[in-house]
Structure 1
């Protein structure tokens, strides 16, 4: 049978009696008003909130620079993401040189010499195709390693995370690389 419940909660069975009288409207409204907690000094509460947010951002920034797992943003936390970072950082990749090469190719394409413009276009296409092949090689290898090491765990988005990381130059990656090139992750 149903046990007697507290005054604030109702019985689960809709046919069962609630065991207490219905409160007056004025009492219910007063009870509702007293539950809302409003800070006495809104400016002080806003300042404290900003300070708390600022300190959290500072913790995350230092964690990104130093690689401290405890304070990393949610997108970088966990053993799967750490493995992906180490896997990407341990190898040389053509994709990390894409941005500097694109700038050089862009400068070559601005020059008014038709031969240089043609050369820059062909260089860009060749470099783009090589980067796509590099992505495919890294993506397939990473997917295979994730399947072996983290079987049964959620690895969703990990390959895309690795591909976006490899597009960045090694010195600019955050969190900072923790492994040297050529090391095993």
Structure 2
């Protein structure tokens, strides 16, 4: 039923006059080894001269952005740090004393205390004090953002506040002040208007 029938003739398609008859001639040479074929197809994605020039342009752009981050020149800062809203957020965070900016030194002290006094009950109190400090710093960051958001809405309007401004301010608040980039342009207590 499903097998080949012995009485049927093989069907060959009729050749039209426009198509040439097939030739059984081979390619006339052996197939190259894979290694040879891959080596022939290899070429650089970018020309070496172009690569070097683009690397130099990128380095010059990074240097320009780094100098702008040091001096506060917004024209040459990276896009994530540009704009009046971001500047206001930076100035607001830099003018305020934040518990988060002291987190790393405080955590280091408490961890050293915990390891040094690990055989005594004071070690438990050191770890508990560190956890209390972490919770206080998080609450301080949340309160800072609430006050900052009110100021941003009053000054720029709700539609002008870019997405991620909250995290931008909170992450900046948890950095040690000398290591913040862009560098702080205001002193503690010098609130932006």
TM class by shorter chain equals 0.7 to 0.9
Displacement of 1:142: 0.9
Residue 120 of structure 1 pairs with residue 126 of structure 2:
yes
Q: Pick from 134, 144, 148 the counterpart of residue 142 of structure 1.
A: 148
TM-score of the two chains, using structure 2 as the length reference? 0.72
Structure 2 gap segments, 5+ residues each: 1-45
SS at match of 1:114: coil
Are the equivalent residues in 2 in contact too, given 1:95–1:131 (CA < 8 A)? yes
Partners of 2:64 and 2:169 in 1: CA distance: 24
Residue 89 of structure 1: aligned partner:
94
Partners of 2:151 and 2:162 in 1: CA distance: 11
Residue 153 of structure 1 pairs with residue 157 of structure 2:
no
SS at match of 2:121: helix
Residue 34 of structure 2: aligned partner:
none
Q: Pick from 94, 98, 105 the counterpart of residue 103 of structure 2.
A: 98
Per-residue CA deviations over 1:135-177 (Å, capped at 9, x if unaligned) read 1210100111111111031332111100000001111111000
Moved more, 87-96 or 107-116: 107-116
Are the equivalent residues in 1 in contact too, given 2:153–2:161 (CA < 8 A)? no
Structure 1 gap segments, 5+ residues each: 1-40
Q: Pick from 165, 175, 181 the counterpart of residue 182 of structure 2.
A: 175
Q: Let me know the Cα RMSD of the aligned residues.
A: 1.3
Residue 166 of structure 1: aligned partner:
173
SS at match of 2:188: coil
Partners of 1:125 and 1:60 in 2: CA distance: 38
Per-residue CA deviations over 1:81-133 (Å, capped at 9, x if unaligned) read 00000000011111110111111111112123322211211111210121121
Largest Rg, 1 or 2: 2
Aligned length: 145
Residue 73 of structure 1: aligned partner:
78
